Structure formats: C-alpha cells, structure tokens
Amino acid sequence: MGVITIEQALAESIKAGLDLVEIAPKANPPVAKIVNLGKFRYQEEKKLQKQKRKNKSAEIKEVRLSPFIADNDFSNRLTRIKEFLGEGNKVRVVVKFKGRQLGSKNFGYDVMKKILSELGENIAIDMEPKFIGRHLTMVVSPVSKTKIKKVTELEDSDKSKGEKNTKN
C-alpha cells in the first residue's frame, strides 16, 4: 500500500474487517499491517517457540568426585564428562571433601589437573578450580570447532613466522 496516514489505514482495516497492527513503531515512518489480530498473535507465538527450540541453551551438568578416587571410578567419571561436553553442555566438576580429607586439599587439585590433562585442548575453563565450603569446584565447557580452527591457525602462523626468523 505504501506510506499512508493513520486515518486512511484505520479506514482500510475497517473496510476489510481486520485489525491494524503496529509492527515496527520505532521505524520512520512507523510500520503497520492490516491483519486478523488473533491469527497474527498465533503466528508470532509459533515463531518464538521455533526460536526457543533452535536456541538450546547449554545445560550445566555436574560430576562429583572424591580426592582419593580409584582409577576405574575416575575413568568412568571422565567418560561421562566427555559425553556431556560432546553434547555441548557445560560441566561442573566437584571434588567433595569429607572430614579429615580437608587437611589434604592438594589431592583435590591433583584430581582437577588430571582431568584437565585427560580432556586436552578441546575445552575452555569457565571457572578455575576454587574451594566453596567443602567442595573444590571447576566449570569447563566445550570449545566450538570454529574456535579450535582459529587457535590452530594462529599457532600455525606463529610457527611459520618462527621458521622465517630462523632461516635468516
């Protein structure tokens, strides 16, 4: 229809038996549509639901360990952590201390270091290991493939620069 006055738009909507709905009030001039309001709301609601489905937020999964964990238990927990990261979820790794174990906090840090070394370079540490009460907590998340590519490209470019400098 083009640019028309509000009065003309209202007259057109009444003539069509529909509603005048303002779509973009901040635009210059404001944008409005002549539509059935119920149908319009339904379509907007469906759009929002579709967007929510696409934007699956990363859940935070929690894996609990003890500072003196057996090797088999550790490997099982590590497998779960890898599964969670593979699904795109963040993982909160918690080392839970009981009683006199609090006197040996360094064993908890050793468990965290072991986890980080096993997981390798394909993770990002969102929260460094720190004590919260009786729990040593760390949060890790998966690094997207694009970030991994960028990091490897930067490393490759640094290596090639180093090779150029050594040839001189």
All structural domains of the chain with their residue ranges: 6-54, 60-147
Q: Which CATH number fits domain 60-147: 3.30.110.10, 3.20.20.70, 1.10.10.60, 3.40.190.10?
A: 3.30.110.10
Whether the per-residue pLDDT at 54 is higher than 80: the answer is no
Q: Supply the pLDDT for residue 5.
A: 87
Residues 6+ apart with CB under 8 A from 107: 67, 68, 101
Q: pLDDT exceeding 70 applies to what percent of the chain?
A: 83
Closest CA to 63 of 50, 48, 46, 80: 80
Summarised one tens digit per residue, pLDDT across range 57-86 is 668 899 999 999 999 999 999 999 999 988
Summarised one tens digit per residue, pLDDT across range 78-122 is 999 999 988 888 999 999 999 888 888 899 999 999 999 998 888
Strand partners of residue 138: 93
Same fold, 6-54 and 60-147: no
**Cα 25 to Cα 4, 22, 101, distances in angstroms:** 15, 6, 62
CATH of domain 6-54: 3.10.20.80
* CA pair distance 106, 95, nearest whole angstrom: 11
Query: How much is the pTM?
Result: 0.55
